[in-house]
A = this chain, B = another copy of it.
């Protein structure tokens, strides 16, 4: 099912500014139990929509097609899975591409600055809209891996379990540097810059070993020098046709500015979150959201007395492993959910 939940109106953003008549787009799979105690709330990475898996309404494959479904790791015979499109994105939720009712024009760069906390609030808005008080599980990868931490900080006792995948409590200087370059490219030139930003994203989301294995020095078939350049071009084509440049800027900066410690000591935050068990998944070869950052999240949950499991995935797919190696993530998540 697809749906839209109204944001409180006006909705006041964490770092200032407000919108009226805002909304959060979501999709659901499975059926809520009578007690509404079988919900799973899923946040996304920077670029995907809420279409995490196929459905009758939209049979196209979703971005986590192998993780969600009947008998899958997020078993829709058991769970009512809800995926939200991030506030600030461009797939149905309010964002820079939305029309500002006050002017009749798209907000563009006048859209208030979005924080990871605002994205977490968007998830909470959808739960309220669906009449769900508490979810069995909140989870998300990448930006979503940070959004679940913000959700735990802002909404105590609203999630029983938590999975954070390749997220961070506060981005590293290296990741900030790379994202600031991507945003500068987009600000310089929203069309060609978004292509450049996605190409750089693609290189840093994967790993040097993967590019070596897949492409090596094989020549281009598209008039460039090397096949790896064709691959980057294909990624840029796909992304720049579907994603809004202003949404990219605001969501990219939201990751940089997120700092969980603004809400207190992480262990204290998690202690008061009501989360009883946490699974933290990181990839050894992830250069953007490093395995050390995953270890720090896991240690904070442990220090909070939460039953914590840290899974270190060895994958040349790097940061993108949660997309490129879904069957491995399905095994990890499925087993963890079985054993609880």
Contacts and interface: CB of A to CB of B under 8 A. Distances in A.
Interface of A: 170-174, 176-178, 180-181, 184-185, 188-189, 192-193, 195-196, 199-200, 202-203, 207-208, 211-212, 214-217, 224-226, 228-229, 232, 253, 256-257, 259, 287, 290
B203 A225 contact: no
Nearest to A187: B192
Contacts of A181: 196, 199-200, 203, 232
B253 A211 contact: no
Contacts of A232: 177, 180-181
A185 B188 CA distance: 10
Contact of A208 (B174, B196, B208, B225): B174
3 cross-chain pairs, A with B, having the tightest CB-CB distances, nearest first: A174-B208, A173-B211, A173-B228
Q: In terms of DSSP, what is the predominant structure of the interface of chain A? A: helix
A257 B225 CA distance: 8
B256 A287 contact: no
Copies in the complex: 2
B192 A188 contact: yes
A105 to B, nearest CB: 27
A33 B282 CA distance: 60
B212 A172 contact: yes
Given A173-B226, A208-B287, A287-B208, A203 B178 contact: yes
21 contacts: A170-B217, A171-B217, A172-B208, A172-B212, A173-B211, A173-B214, A173-B215, A173-B217, A174-B208, A174-B211, A176-B217, A177-B229, A180-B224, A180-B228, A180-B229, A184-B192, A184-B196, A184-B199, A188-B189, A188-B193, A225-B253
A176 B256 contact: no
A166 to B, nearest CB: 15
Given A196-B184, A229-B180, A211 B256 contact: no
A202 B178 CA distance: 10
A225 B225 CA distance: 37
Nearest to A261: B217
A328 to B, nearest CB: 23
Given A172-B208, A181-B232, 11 more contacts: A174-B207, A176-B228, A176-B229, A177-B203, A177-B211, A184-B199, A188-B192, A188-B193, A217-B259, A225-B256, A225-B257
A212 B173 contact: yes
A284 to B, nearest CB: 14
A300 B196 CA distance: 37
A189 B184 CA distance: 12
Contacts of A229: 176-177, 180
B172 A211 contact: yes
Nearest to A200: B181
Contacts of A188: 188-189, 192-193, 196
Nearest to A216: B173
A320 to B, nearest CB: 14
A189 B202 CA distance: 21
Q: Which of A171, A184, A226, A232 has most chain B Cβ within 10 Å?
A: A184
Contacts of A193: 188
A181 B197 CA distance: 9
